[in-house]
Amino acid sequence: MTHKALVTGGNRGIGKAIAAGLVREGLEVIIGARDLAAGQDAARDVGASAIQLDLTDPAACDRAIDGVTVLVNNAGVLWDDKLFDDMDHFEATMDTALHGPFALIRAALPAMEAAGYGRVVNVSSGWGSFAEGLGGGGAYGIGKAAMNALTVIANRDTPDFIKINSMCPGWVRTRMGGAGATRSPEEAADTAIWLATLPADGPSGGFFRDRKPLAW
Ligand SMILES: NC(=O)c1ccc[n+]([C@@H]2O[C@H](COP(=O)([O-])OP(=O)(O)OC[C@H]3O[C@@H](n4cnc5c(N)ncnc54)[C@H](OP(=O)(O)O)[C@@H]3O)[C@@H](O)[C@H]2O)c1
């Protein structure tokens, strides 16, 4: 059976590298992009298809998920300001890190249950780790910590054949990470691709970097 994967924010950066990797793994891949033309350009590059998906729109999340059994919640935003400076930044951060991923997982559950198979990868960050100090500007650490909590509790409340994990890609050369970052998007995508294609005895409810467990 060919699994259908959705990668949010797959039009550039780490998401595009994850989409390319999942195509290489033989999955049918859909890139979710808030700018459909950008999504279609990336989809052409990697052999995927594209849909318009803005995580600030819950109805779009419902529409995007039809038949998806592999979900990569990759989209994210980062601002350098302080937590209380800009309410819109807080809301956009929580939409991409928590509300959108929640809505997408919830909408994907019927297809995953029907298939007896599901993989969810939440692209989080070491900045969402209490153990690593909740770094990043403003709301970012709160959003990624909330995403990590979603991973733990979604895993607890779904069947064992659905594997839900968080991962940190490291510091990556993308628009978010900047040109001085230490990793390529392809290196960063490796752990996400691994988690999206885990075998039946693979881990679930965990947090990983470089395929190794990371402290919450
Ligand atoms: N780069 C790093 O060093 C690093 C480190 C740790 C974790 N991460 C995480 O890795 C993930 C990917 O980051 P990246 O470095 O590849 O960043 P990026 O190049 O800035 O890409 C972010 C992606 O998210 C999309 N996006 C933002 N808001 C969205 C929304 N409301 N709805 C749908 N899509 C939205 C963007 O779409 P547009 O093109 O339309 O803006 C873009 O496709 C993020 O979750 C980030 O927090 C990155």
| pLDDT surpassing 90 at residue 1 | no
Tell me, in angstroms, the distance from the centre of ligand 1 to residue 10's CA.
8
Tell me the pLDDT tens digit for each residue of 5-39.
Answer: 999 999 999 999 999 999 999 999 999 999 999 99
Ligand 1 midpoint to CA 9 (Å):
6
39 C-beta closer than 6 A to ligand 1: no
pLDDT for the residue 62: 84
Q: How far apart are CA 142 and CA 130, in angstroms?
A: 10
pLDDT at residue 13 in the model: 98
Angle at 192 between CA 186 and CA 197, to 5 degrees: 115
Q: Whose CA is nearest to atom 24 of ligand 1?
A: 75
- With a 6 A CB cut-off, is 86 part of the ligand 1 pocket? no
The Cβ of residue 216 has, within 10 Å, a number of other Cβ atoms equal to: 16
Residue 118 main-chain phi, psi, to 5 deg: -160, 140
Count of domains for the chain: 1
Model pLDDT, residue 68: 97
Residue tagged 């849909």 (tokens): 51
Atom of ligand 1 nearest to the CA of 55: 32
Query: At residue 64, does pLDDT exceed 90?
Result: no
Per-residue pLDDT of 178-193, as tens digits, reads 999 999 999 999 999 9
We report the CATH number of the domain holding residue 58 as: 3.40.50.720
Can you give the residue range of the structural domain that contains 20? Answer: 4-213
User: Among 52, 122, 172, which is best to mutate for testing ligand 1, by the most ligand atoms less than 8 A from CB?
Assistant: 172
